[in-house]
Each structure stands twice: as C-alpha cells, then as structure tokens.
Structure 1
C-alpha cells in the first residue's frame, strides 16, 4: 500500500503544478476549447482524488487495505485504544484526508448556495426593471446607457441586455451577442465555473487554482463564441466584441464571481475569429482523441488505485 500511496502522491503533485501550468500556456486549447475544458475538469477531479487518496492509503497501510483500516479504527473512535500498528503519522494522514475532503465538499456546497441566492435576486431584479425583447424569448432589456450583456442561469434562464447595447449594435451583431449568452446557458458553463470557483475559494493560497479558474473562464467564452459563429458571421461577432469591449460581459453570469473578462481575454478570443476552432470541425481528430484519452486516464488512475487498495468487503 505504501507504493500505491507514493504513486498517488506523485500523481497529485503532477496535477497540482506542472500539468496545469503546461496546459494554461499551451496554444492548442484555443483550437479545441471543448476538449481543453474537459481536460481541465479531469485535472481538477483527478488531482483532488489523488491528493486525498494518497493520504488515505498511507494512513490505512498498517491494516493492509482501506476497509481493513476502517474495521480496525472505527470501533475505537469514541472509546478504547487505537491499535498499536497505527502510529501518530498514520492517524494524522487519515485526519488530514478527512478534513481536506470535508473542506472541499463544504466549500462547494457553500459556493453553490451563494450562487443560487444571487441568481434568484437577479431574476427578481430583471423581472421588475427589465422589459421583454420582442422576438427574443427569455431575453430582457434594461434601461441603462452602458452597453452590457450577461445571462442568468438556473431553472429559469434569462439573457439580459441593456439599451446601450441594443443601440450600438446592428442586427447581425445583436444576434451574435444573444447567441453567445444563450450558449453559456444551454451548455451549462455556470456549473463548470462553479466547481473551479469553489476550488479557488477553498485553496486561495494555491497558485494554480487561480490559473485554472481563469483558463476555464476563457474556454467557456470561446465555446460561447463558437456558438455565436454558427448563428452569425465571424465579422459580425468581431464587430460586436469590439463595440462592447472587455467590460461589456461582466463575468458572463450573474453569479460568476471574481473572473471578469479583461483585455487579454478579449484579445485571445478575437485572435480565433477567422481561424480554426471547434466551430470549423478542426480535422486533427487524432490529437483530440489523444487528449480525450488523457483526460479519462487522469481520472481513472486514482479511482483504480483506490479500488485496488479497498480490500475484501466480507
């Protein structure tokens, strides 16, 4: 079991720094944002499982299996002596694993509750202050001179525009903006960003968490751009993005948290227009398949390792 614990620990270190750092600096994600987004999710899930799993397996090693450690230790949680095979370092590892898992889970739950509250508040506000946009279901227009567009996810969804935006865009540009915002809603980007925002909030001192959240936010914007490119031309989308600027989509969602598009993100999105991307069915199928297999492997390694050390149920 010590070998498995070392394997999981080394795997967690790889997924905690060099792998996400290389991915955040790579150029290919802009050509295949959907695959890159799946890879980021695999890195987050696999890294968390490997980190917690390495502590669990090491702490349970005196018993020879995870279930064996549970049978040996659980009866002694309230009273009785801890079996002598388990030293202080093993108990510390198990305690740290349980504490880290609880911290991540509670932080995710808290982030989800806060986001849902903000969504409800936004729905109430736009119902009072916004007017329905003719010919565009689930779209509200706010009387505000600054050109803005964002969406409010949830059971009820809404795309929100301002008068300032409607006034400065022509019909193809407006169609591209609406398609972009609806892509965020239809593809459930808010759920993906929620998980990475919770990760960043749970580990604010962890530098890669901020890089991951920012990279995922940019990929979500690129995916929404690809949907807009299917509805309108690249030129119409480019004109709309330049008219609105980096401040015209404040985080895309009402509950988007701290990741707000800036000039660098806008520049990266503009650079894709007219070039290959998911919308053009980029022909490099072999590379896409390889990345997809890598994402599956990243999640499979810690799961299989933990199952291998589970031990006999009976």
Structure 2
C-alpha cells in the first residue's frame, strides 16, 4: 500500500510546491532550453505519478495472489475496478484535452493565416513574410508544418531600423524552426485538462517566457543583443493573435535585462538540470510499470 501513497505524494508535490518554487527562481532563465525540459519533465512526471498511484492502488486493493484476478462478488475487486476505471478516465481526459487544444489552435492559425494572405502584402525579398497596412506596431509568426508566416505591420516597420527588423525576423524564424508552438501546445493541453479550481498558470506562463528566451538567444547569436533589445522596447505592449508567437508578447523587462548581460553559458547547470529532468521521468515510470509487469508475470505463472 506504500507505493500508491508515495506516488500520490509525488504527484501533489509536482503539481504544487515544486512548480511554485521553480517559478520563483531566476536560475532557469540562464539555461532556458534545459529549463523547458525540466518543466516538461515535471508536468509529465506529475501525470505519470497520478496515473501510477491509481494503478498501484487498484492492484493493491484487488484480491490476494492465488485468488481469481477479478471476482464480481468481491467488494475489494469491485473497488479495485472502480479505481482503475477512474484512473483510465483521467488519462482519457488528458488525451482529449491535448487533442482539443491541438485541433483548435491549428484551426485558429489557419483562419488567421488565410486572413493575413488576403489582407497583407507579400515581401518580395523574404519568403513567408507578410506586411500588414496597419499603423499599430505588430510583429509575430504563425507556425505551421507548411506555409508558416512571419507578419509585421507598417507601424512596426516605421519604428524599427534595419538592424532591429533583422533581429525581430530572426527571433520569429527561431520560433518557427524550433516549433516552440508544439511546446506551448503540450503545456496548454495539460493546463486545460485540469479542473478550474485546481488549475495553475505557473507552468504555462514559465513555458511562454522560456521559449521567448530561446528565440532571443538565437537572434542574439545572429544579430547581436543591442538591436533585439531596442526592438523589444520599441514593440513593448504590441498586441498579437492568440495562436501566434510574438517577439514582444511577454516578459519584456526580463528579456532586455538578460540581453544587456553576457551571453549565457552554464554547461554544468544545464547538465544538472537535464539529469534532474530524466530522474523525474524515470522514477514514476518504473513505479507505474512495476505493478503492470508483476500482474503479467502472475498471469503467465
């Protein structure tokens, strides 16, 4: 009975204290790629631990070895079946939420991309770039497997010089190359799957900030930090569509301060973070697999 208790405790820690503590720390901003992996590991490990707790509790509640594996007249077996059914329901809800978010996001992006193609002017020099005749400064990208778009407005072109524009375009292309939208989709799906009364914005907000830092780092390497920092200030507060990734969508102060310092280089911190992420996934995975393997062995035996 100790296994389901430990897994349930792990799930609670990974959905409450651990994210809150990590969100208050500044060190993840030094290693955004490793930090994204850690946040993904925390989210996935929490799900695995919760599902594993249900499986382990169901297995430990069922009849003892040597008894029929399921006896409808046994209250213990009925309770075990109910626990397993509830666990399966949680898993189905998670998968449904992920699919719903993916389909809805892609549909919104396609509608917006069609609208942009209708209203905006293609740039003859930069493939995929569309220029909107809009005085509000806008700069964002619309990811897609095929037909991704980078959108800027006339208002943004008026505010940015050539170097700043190059930095913004490099930032948006970094989002498209790395498919940061898929990272955010996973966090959004998990966020949506939880009931509103236990839902937390922490992991999703941190993921949004970290993918912006990753795109900043790519643009910094290609164009230097100053043009991008100036562009972020010039575009601060600019609106962006819900399904888009925008250069100045969030955490402008943090990002400008980060660009003012030396380029981050913390290999040991990154290696340690990746190690923790792997361990977080391995422990609940093995624990979830253990009762399933044992049940198969008992069935064969």
Question: TM-score under structure 1 normalisation?
Answer: 0.86
- In 1, Cα distance between the equivalents of 2:142 and 2:127? 14
Alpha-carbon shift at residue 208 of structure 1 (Å) = 5.9
2:103 corresponds to 1:121: no
261, 273, 278: which one aligns with 2:259: 273
1:31 aligns with 2:30: yes
1:157-193 Cα offsets, whole Å, 9 max, x none, are: 1111111111211000000110111111111111111
- 1:240-251 matches, cutoff 5 A: 240-249=231-240
Deviation (angstroms), 1:304: 0.5
Quote the Cα distance in structure 2 between the aligned partners of 1:64 and 1:273: 61
Q: Which residue of 2 aligns with 1:141?
A: 131
Counterpart position of 2:276: 294
CA shift for structure 1 position 285? 2.3
1:187 aligns with 2:169: no
Deviation, 1:109, is 0.7
Shift of 1:292: 0.6
Q: 1:133 offset after TM fit, Å?
A: 1.5
Cα distance in structure 2, aligned partners of 1:269 and 1:58: 45
Give, in whole Å, the separation in 1 of the partners of 2:233 and 2:267. Answer: 32
Structure 2 distance, partners of 1:63, 1:88, is: 8
Q: Is 1:177 aligned to residue 177 of structure 2?
A: no
Maintained 8 Å contact 1:200/1:206: no
**How many residue pairs are counted as aligned between the two chains?**
293
Partners of 1:177 and 1:249 lie apart in 2 by 14
Give how far 1:204 is off.
4.6
Q: Show the 5 A alignment for 1:193-204.
A: 193-204=184-195
Per the alignment, do residues 187 and 138 of structure 1 end up closer, same or farther by CA in structure 2, a change over 3 Å counting? same
- Encode CA deviations 1:88-118: one digit per residue, 9 max, x unaligned: 6434422221111111111111111111111
8 Å CA contact 1:247–1:261 kept in 2: the answer is yes
- Give the one of 100, 103, 119 matched to 1:110: 100
Residue in 1 that maps onto 2:244: 254
Q: Report the TM-score when normalising by structure 2.
A: 0.90
Does residue 238 of structure 1 match 2:229? yes
In structure 2, the partner of 1:44 is 43
Note the aligned Cα RMSD (angstroms).
2.4
How has the CA–CA distance of structure 1 residues 281 and 242 changed in structure 2, closer, same or farther, with 3 Å as cutoff? closer
Give the drift of 1:241: 0.7
User: How do residues 59-138 of structure 1 correspond to structure 2 at under 5 angstroms?
Assistant: 59-63=58-62, 72-73=69-70, 82=72, 84=74, 86=76, 89-138=79-128
Structure 1 residues 20 and 122: alpha-carbon distance in aligned structure 2, compared to 1, 3 A threshold: same
Change (3 A) 1:116 1:249: closer
C-alpha separation in 2, matches of 1:208 and 1:39: 19
Q: Which whole-Å CA distance do the structure 2 matches of 1:117 and 1:291 have between them? A: 35
Q: Unaligned 5+ residue runs, structure 2? A: none
